[in-house]
Amino acid sequence: MREPALWHDAGVSITAQQFQQLQERVSRRVPKPAVEHVVSARSDHSVILGIDPSLRGTGYGVIRNVGRTPELLTQGTVKCASSLTRVQCLARIAESLRDIIRSCKPTVCIVEGLFYAQNLQTALIMGEARGASLVAAAEAGLEVYEIAPRKVKQAVVGYGAAQKFAVAKMVQRMLRLSEPPAPDAADALALALTYAQESRSPVARVSRKL
């Protein structure tokens, strides 16, 4: 008994058995990958570096984001005396951050986003300090994100126009420190904490990858 045609068009027909054989040939020509690659929306980072750039006092803070309570690894301020030139300050900022990265081994860096400055000269100097910080992070191969200052205050304090003291007190509470960090270091830690919160709740995304 002749097998009925499964498909017929313009005088060309194919049976069910022939169709199955054709599928088997195609599957043999296109092998399946040995390992399926799943692309995630965001890489998991357990060690986070926050940087609050400034020419004379760049704040930094590194936390380990494991469990519900982040752990402080290091924090401080890269201070540059007024006797140093701008170029010398930028070199010190970059070299200090390189040392911190080598010591703590973060995999992601969060910097304060650009903000509006009425004084053009101040904006340029801040931009230079930010650039020196970004170079140190980029050299080490870190992923780099920025978060607007108002977003950081909103995430940490719950009020976008919060004062520095309020930010420092909340950072102290969140990291269970014996005393509040210095203002610049507190701002850097607040950046890292905001990113840590965001990584646990991707719905409330406030960072932007650079």
Q: What is the C-alpha to C-alpha distance for residues 25 and 4, in angstroms, rounded to an integer?
A: 22
Which residue among 9, 44, 52, 139 is the active-site one? 52
Euclidean distance between CA atoms 66 and 104, whole angstroms: 15
Q: How far apart are CA 150 and CA 160, in angstroms?
A: 5
- Assess whether pLDDT exceeds 70 at residue 76: yes
Residue 44 designated active-site: no
What number of CA atoms fall less than 13 Å from residue 51's CA on the CB side?
34
- pLDDT confidence of residue 119: 77
Helix or strand or coil: residue 189?
helix
pTM score, whole prediction: 0.77
Q: What is the pLDDT of residues 10-63, one digit of tens each?
A: 444 556 666 566 556 645 544 443 333 333 334 578 999 999 999 999 999 999
pLDDT given for residue 23 in this prediction: 59
In DSSP terms, 110 is beta-bridged to 50, 145
Q: State the DSSP code for 147.
A: E
- In angstroms, the Cα distances linking 203 to 65, 116, 168, 199 are 18, 27, 26, 9
Catalytic one among 146, 184, 187, 198? 184
The catalytic position among 3, 24, 44, 112 is 112
Q: Residue 75: helix, strand or coil by DSSP?
A: strand
Q: How many CB atoms neighbour CB 187 within 10 A?
A: 27
Q: Does the active-site annotation cover 187?
A: no
